[in-house]
Amino acid sequence: MSKVPISQVKPGMVVEKPVYSPIDNKLLLTYGTRLRDSMIKKLKSIGIKELEIADPYTIFVKPIEKMAVYMKDTYEHVIKKYSSDQPEGNLTDNMIEIVSMVKNTVSKICMNNDILEFCFQMKVLKDNRLFKHAIHTSVFSGIVAGALDLKDDMFDIMVGGLLHDIGCLEMPFLIGLEKKKPQEELLWKEHPSYGYYLSLQNNISRSIAEIILQHHENWDGSGYPKQLKGEAIALGARIVNVCSMVSHHIHFENMQPYETMEYLYGGSKIFFDPKIVDTFISNITLYPLGALVRLTTDEVGIISNVRSNRGPRPIVTVYFNRFNKPLSQPTKIDLGKERTIFIKEILD
């Protein structure tokens, strides 16, 4: 960085420091502005004598711009993980159309600076699981919204899923804490309320703020913070409740997808809206077609069919025995019929 007389300033140079008017102290140019000829003439006319000019090899990328690119890449990775460009790789025929809508909504989300600011705060936390959890919840919520034909509400529901835990930014020391003291548990149960007010104070719509506020309300009224019950809970919040639970169990509890889905089945009509549970299970496969997996028998194979059975019970073509030796002839195991065998891990 160096001070350059205005007479030597040329178009294409980049301002290293903000420039203020000597007349009324108003901001004229922000940090990182690339100068044009008209700008230089204007600065000369109002009496600017010199500018702080950046070294020509310096790049100027604002954190929020970096976040937008990173967000879009992360969204695309997660969407690809749980959907396929091939119809047979999805549980329903209309999944390709739904995913297209989800991707369009992602583009809108990544252009909103107010949303990006919250995401940046989540991303720079020492525990990056909160950010991953947010993206997964948002993708799941968008797919469920599309499956329920909530096209007009998809943006609000996906953003509600993305920002549902922003109240945790006020209590980062509790994120991922397995055992909480009574007073910590009470504080934790306030994070939906914290998130509600934070969102409203930062230009997030009230409909999204209500999803944030209600995402821990349960179908039977046992949730918090207001113990709402059944359809008194906003539909978007009911969707995010289901989707965030699935993501939370995967990212914070290290549960296998089949264990998470069993919890989802068990919580239907108790914690979760049964219609949302059914929609999730019928449209989202947590085990992608073509994935290399290890079974609880320690055999290794490839998921060859996700359509035959609902939920986490695909058909696996086994190529290696439990000693990792190749089979002379691959065998198919239908996990919908072999109820004592599960997928232990995805090896991709």
- Domains, the chain, with CATH or none: 2-53 (3.90.105.10), 63-283 (1.10.3210.10), 292-346 (no CATH)
Tokens linked to 334: 């239908």
Count the Cβ atoms, other than its own, within 10 Å of residue 176: 16
How high is the pLDDT of residue 342?
92
How high is the pLDDT of residue 1?
59
Distance of alpha carbon 43 from alpha carbon 50, whole angstroms: 9
How high is the pLDDT of residue 138?
98
Helix axes 129-147, 235-251, angle to 10 degrees: 140
CB 118 within 8 Å of CB 68: no
Strands 292-295 and 300-305 turn out to be antiparallel
* 275: nearest Cα among 230, 222, 309, 208: 230
Length of the chain: 348
What is the H or E stretch that residue 305 is in?
strand 300-305
How high is the pLDDT of residue 85?
85
How high is the pLDDT of residue 269?
96
Q: Does the global pTM surpass 0.95?
A: no
CA angle 216, 220, 223 (to 5 degrees): 25
Query: Cα torsion at 262, 267, 268, 272 (round to 10°)?
Result: -120
What is the H or E stretch that residue 301 is in?
strand 300-305
User: Could you say which residues of the chain have pLDDT below 70?
Assistant: 1, 60, 311
Q: The tokens 């967000």 sit on which residue? A: 71
Query: Cα torsion at 262, 189, 161, 233 (round to 10°)?
Result: 80
Give the DSSP letter of residue 64.
Answer: H
Cα 260 to Cα 6, 147, 256, 267, distances in angstroms: 64, 21, 6, 11
Distance of alpha carbon 255 from alpha carbon 261, whole angstroms: 10
> Under DSSP, is residue 152 helix (H, G, I), strand (E, B) or coil?
helix
Q: How many CA atoms lie within 13 A of 300 on its CB side?
A: 11
Q: What type of residue is 121? A: Q
Distance of alpha carbon 273 from alpha carbon 307, whole angstroms: 24
Distance of alpha carbon 214 from alpha carbon 225, whole angstroms: 7
CB 306 within 8 Å of CB 257: no
